[in-house]
Amino acid sequence: MKMAITLETIHQDIEQLKNELHKVRSMLEDESELTEEARRELKVAREEMDSGEHVAHERIMGKYG
């Protein structure tokens, strides 16, 4: 079943992304406190950003939605 895209769903998605971004920023403030797993995940995320890879909306919603 396809979910209708409305301003409300877009707003919810943006709010969710803002919350996730806030969490990432908090982690980045002091990387020395990150676990090895978090450091690996951060490295992969940075490599994806540098390579221009994009994450599909469906992938984000599957993981966080």
Q: For the chain, what are the domain ranges?
A: 34-65
What integer pLDDT is reported at residue 30 of this predicted model?
64
Per-residue tens of pLDDT for the chain, all 65 residues: 577 889 988 999 999 999 999 888 887 776 667 788 988 988 888 888 788 767 677 777 888 87
Task: Tell me if the pTM is above 0.75.
Answer: no
- Cα separation of 36 and 39, whole Å? 5
- Other CB atoms within a 10 A radius of the CB of residue 23 amount to 10
